[in-house]
Amino acid sequence: METILAEARLRPLSRLLAAATEEAATAMYRWTGGQFTLSLEEACELPWERVCDYFDLGDEPRIMVVMHLESPWAGDLILVFDELNGRQLAASLLGQEVPADEPWTDLARSALTETGNIVGCAYLNAITRLLGTELVPTPPAFVEDFGASVLGQAVVTHAMHNERVFVCQTWFHREGATLDARLLFLPSQALRQRIMDAMSSR
């Protein structure tokens, strides 16, 4: 696709994000007793108008855990689950049956938020260590909303200053099967450049 940044330029970023994904996958594996893991799907850069279509989160409500990175190394980390996979993950963590179609309990919200915390922090810790730069995330927030509304909000902050947005997508797996559950990472232009500089000097 012509709008995606050439692979060669992305290679340093991809190397770092693969390391971050590996650390997050290990954390997820431990947290879920070996049931769930993660794999890096793609890292690409595209015009900001195209991000929501490209990563197609549909127009149905999604369950998300959102963390924002504060300036100067800003960015957004969004865990996105469809309703079923979100409920299955929460239920397995709590040792319960998957509940029928009913509102999310505080306990289930907390289980998913803690998942975001563990996976997100492992991911960001790996980046922090490789960059030698501290990243400061906000506490994870549980969000039940349209996926495109949340992803769009993350994109808007980039759209104010840049024409293109870098997005890294990581999928969740359970017992070998890929789930409708993913981790999206959108670093700001400044953070992306910091990563590129750090990795190219290695």
Partner 1 sequence: MSTVVVEKTIKQSVGMGQICFKEDCGELVAILGSCIGVAMYCPRLKLAALGHVVLPESDGRDGPPGRYADLAIPYMVAQFKNRGATLAGIKVRIAGGAAMFGRPGPLQIGINNAQAVKNTLAKAGLVLTSEHLGGTKGRRMSINAATGEVFVEIVGQGTTQLQ
Q: Please report, as ranges, the residues that interact with partner 1 according to CB under 8 A.
A: 47-53, 59, 61, 66, 68, 141, 143-150, 152-153, 155-157, 159-160, 163
Q: Count of CB atoms within 10 A of residue 103's CB?
A: 8
Q: Which C-beta is closer to partner 1: that of 38 or that of 182?
A: 182
Select 28 or 64, whichever has its Cβ closest to partner 1. 64
The residue (of 10 and 143) whose beta carbon lies closer to partner 1 is 143
> Residue 149 CB, nearest distance to partner 1 (Å)?
2
Q: CA separation (Å) from 44 to 3, 122, 196?
A: 9, 21, 14
- Token pair belonging to 154: 């993350």
**Secondary structure class of 171 (helix, strand, coil):** strand
- For 22-66, the DSSP string reads HHHHHHHHHHTTTSEEEEEEEEEEEEGGGHHHHTT--SSEEEEEE
Q: What is the smallest separation between the CB atom of 169 and partner 1, expressed in angstroms?
A: 18
Supply the minimum distance, in Å, between the C-beta of residue 22 and partner 1.
28
Please, which residue, 28 or 155, has the CB nearer to partner 1? Answer: 155
